[in-house]
Chain A
Amino acid sequence: MAKIYVATDVLGFFALDEAGNVVDKELYEKKPDMVAARLMELEKSNYVPEIVKLIERIKPRAEKVVLEDPELARKLVAAVKGVEIVGESPSHILVEFRRNFPKYLGALGLTWDEYQKFLFEVSDLVTRLKLRQAVERRDLFIAQAISTLDDVDKILNLIASRIREWYGLHFPELEELIRDNKEYVTIVYHIGHRSRIAEDALKKILPEMPEERAKRIVESAKKSIGAEMSDWDLEQLKIYADIYLNLDAYREKLATYIDEAMKEVAPNVRELVGPLLGARLIKLAGGLTRMAFLPASTIQVLGAEKALFRALRTGGKPPKHGVIFQYPEIFRSPRWQRGKIARALAAKLAIAAKADAFTGNFIAPRLKEELLKRIQEVKTLYAKPPPKAPTQPAAKTPPPPPPPKKGGEKRPPPRRERGRR
């Protein structure tokens, strides 16, 4: 009964006694793919079946099993019962094993050249697997997805307005009665001819519509002054409506995808400003890593480049915010508070992006708390609008060229979820 040392190698595991003799071994099948998969696990300090098998087998002969990876040893304790497993780093027996490795190799009937070839093959494979994992540029996928989302929104609006006009020839009164594009198109697609519009039919396709409104729709359908439309005429409109609904369903999926992907790639940014705005920032920065390298002041005006460069050129006021204007606390606040809140938010975003790109630590809750505190502070300290600046005394020299009208705010007001509502 003694200590048994377990050496890890690309060939498998070797059990050594205290004199450095190999007393047992458990080798991998000599398939590079499989070995690579095992090594990936080991490098994360996870155990693999072969090492469990080996320890189970040497257990009766050992009172203590020694490994060099303390984390792996700790995890193995839970997997193999009845023997003490400890980490010792480095272990002199295993150091000697590595130094004299060619000697052990001979016993396996392998030459050093063959071994070196296999070693290269496996390390090459593992490195490539790891690189692929690391360089999967999810952030760029997200940037594309958010651009697609914007495209889809545009297309949806375009289709909806066409359908409204087209169907409006037949049932013009509906235009005023239903503001939501999706509801409108749903009616066109599922019901079609206005004579078929009845309360129970509406209830079936739009269960959330208040009864009183459904009644009004049915009423005006009866009294409509629109032109007659045959099913043959309606057919084309229906196909187009179907496209709208499919595209709308796709939009949902896309938004879910962005949310999921943001959870993986930029959890901190997502937590701070939500998946869509977060994704938009990554897109404008040109990737998460590039966003992580940006100063907060740049993040603050991402999306307002035109206003920023105009301000720099003319010496006017720089924009207070770019896309981060979409953050509710900014666009809902009075004008004079927005700049301060935007600055605070951008500062936190800069930290969040760095954490996402370089550490993977989830620090957003703290950032968020600090941010909300600062927003509260702004709201109490600057509750009143600042006094109007005193008008400049009449200049003796001819006045300078007129200053630009206003800073930033180039972005349209934030888009609601979709369509009109």
Chain B
Amino acid sequence: MSIEVVDVRPHERHYGVYIVKFEDGTERIATVNLTPGKRVYGERLIKWGGLEYREWNPYRSKLAAAILNGLKFVPIAEGTQILYLGAASGTTPSHMSDIVGERGLIYSVEFSPRVFREFMEKLVDQGRRNVIPILGDARFPYQYAHYVKGVDVVYIDVAQPAQAKILADNADYFLKPGGHVMLVIKAMSIDVTAPATETFKQEINTLKERGFDILETVHLEPYDTAHAMVIAKKKS
């Protein structure tokens, strides 16, 4: 806590992402806190230039890991509407919520009541109104179709064998023309026996078969092993 912040500057590529520089020369990424004074997962809060920033921990959030590993394009900006599958306790959704701001919306779907309770405590109760909590099963999009409208991005981070398929199914329901999908591949959740690279290939192929152009693939080492982030765009 005692380390002084010496500079905060916007990330050169990513909207809403900031780089915080500390006096010892280290740099961290952060987002502007939508609910000042409130923490979501024990992250550091940084005050600079009249704004409060929340440090974005790449070990906790795979999107942060992907950004630090050189992801070129994140299709999220102010006002973006996102369908987030596998919201869990809300670490990554909270930073997305910071980025999209009050005009954006994150439909956050989670299957497990246990972790979602934390989501409610940390995000909803602390005043984030741009997240729509949905306790539901991502494999059956029609069960939550009455909440979700057209979205610009479908983001998926679920520990399920058929990740790419679930993503494509949901995109069929909710993705606007020209929208993007973001897939966190958890190789170990799909097949622990196969080499991770094989699993990545297979999931990426599923996306291609379902009509997506793959824009980028980033591995998440060293923050997460056998994980990769894929950004793709629906062919129009």
Question: B-contacting residues of A (Cβ < 8 Å)?
Answer: 8-10, 39, 42-43, 45, 68-70, 89-90, 94-95, 98-101, 116-117, 119-120, 122-124, 126-128, 130-131, 134-135
Contacts and interface: CB of A to CB of B under 8 A. Distances in A.
Nearest to B149: A101
Residue in A98, A127, A135 with the greatest tally of chain B CB atoms within 10 Å: A127
A69 B142 CA distance: 6
A128 B176 contact: no
B113 A134 contact: yes
A131 B120 CA distance: 10
A117 to B, nearest CB: 8
B113 A8 contact: no
B149 A127 contact: no
B116 A123 contact: no
A124 B124 CA distance: 8
B133 A98 contact: no
B136 A98 contact: no
B7 to A, nearest CB: 36
Interface in B121-180: 124, 129, 132-136, 141-150, 172-174, 176-177
Interface string B170-204: 00111011000000000000000000000000000
B145 A123 contact: no
Contact of B116 (A8, A116, A122, A127): A127
Contacts of B141: 90
B13 interface: no
Contact of A127 (B133, B150, B176): B133
Nearest to A99: B150
Given A116-B105, A131-B117, A134-B113, A8 B172 contact: no
A68 B147 contact: no
Contact of A98 (B120, B124, B143, B150): B150
A285 B71 CA distance: 46
Interface of B: 105, 113-114, 116-117, 120, 124, 129, 132-136, 141-150, 172-174, 176-177
Contacts of A98: 145, 148-150, 173-174
Nearest to B174: A98
B124 A135 contact: no
A123 B149 contact: no
Contact of A100 (B116, B124, B150): B150
Contacts of A42: 143, 146
B149 to A, nearest CB: 4
Residue in B134, B150, B174 with the greatest tally of chain A CB atoms within 10 Å: B150
Contact of B149 (A8, A69, A99, A117): A99
Contacts of B105: 116
B12 to A, nearest CB: 32
Given A90-B173, A95-B173, A130-B135, A119 B147 contact: yes
Nearest to B129: A120
Contact of B146 (A39, A95, A99, A131): A39
A6 to B, nearest CB: 11
Nearest to A35: B146
Contacts of B133: 123-124, 127
A90 B142 CA distance: 8
B146 A10 contact: yes
Contacts of B174: 95, 98
Nearest to B179: A99
